[in-house]
Amino acid sequence: MAWGICRVQSSNGKPKPMKFAKGVVGVLRPALVLLLAFLSFGFVVLAYQTIRTLQQVNAVEAERDRWQRADEIILQLGLKPGDTVVDFGSGAGYFALKLSNTVGSNGEVLAVDIRRLSLLFLRGRAMLRWPRNIQTIVGGLEDPHLSGRTADAVLIANTYHELSEPRQILLRLSQSMRSGARLVVVDRSDAERPVSPDSEVIDLHSAGFQIASREDRFIVHTDGDIWWIITAVKR
């Protein structure tokens, strides 16, 4: 069988494979064209949604810049160019992108979050802004997955209240920090999340940190939320 499985017999017994192939292509062509159209349309919709989301995030962060006191928070970390800093609970990168500029091209920002989608979005934002010193890490509920890393500072912003095992996380972070490294925790307390800085101080001491400073009313937001900040040093 020289024609293999594509051989078709004519009335005079001669094979007609080319006619058969053309018939298959003719049947499939409309479906392929429709598929290509759907893929193209889907790409356009996805690109539009991504751009819209980026615009919304930028608008939210611009408004956040007015009250978050981000520069003061970053100053508490004591960073210098070339340092490695962990942004634990980085989300879409509000602080990670700012920290990228602080540590410079020779430094490194380790953005840790349990939400893969947030980290994917952060990678996209980082690519658009061209920083090459941000590495995203998918963390666990009890482990930030920083094995083999040595951090000069750690920031936990608006994340502490979400930790199911805060002492375990603090202990793991401490193991990845050099002696004398700073850890800054910024969080808020409201009716739905009555997080006390007192309980965090106890957790920090248990994990081997010494409290350097504490401000219980660091930010009093117009919506009634009260943000506190604690700076600790690894012993």
Q: Mean pLDDT score of the chain, rounded to an integer?
A: 86
The DSSP element (H or E) to which 101 belongs, if any, is helix 94-103
| pLDDT attached to residue 25 | 54
Residue 16, helix vs strand vs coil: coil
| Fold of the CATH domain 69-234 | Rossmann fold (3.40.50)
Q: In this predicted model, what pLDDT tens digit does every residue of 184-207 receive, in sequence order?
A: 999 997 667 667 899 999 999 999
Residue boundaries of the structural domains of the chain: 1-64, 69-234
pTM: 0.79
Residue 138: closest CA among 165, 116, 157: 116
Geometric angle at alpha carbon 74, from 69 and 79, rounded to 5° = 165
Other C-beta atoms closer than 10 Å to the C-beta of 90 total: 28
> Is the pLDDT score of 6 beyond 50?
no
State the DSSP code for 9.
B
Other C-beta atoms closer than 10 Å to the C-beta of 62 total: 9
Q: pLDDT category, 147, cuts 50, 70, 90? A: confident
The answer to which of 41-50, 96-105, 172-181, 193-202 has the lowest mean pLDDT is 41-50
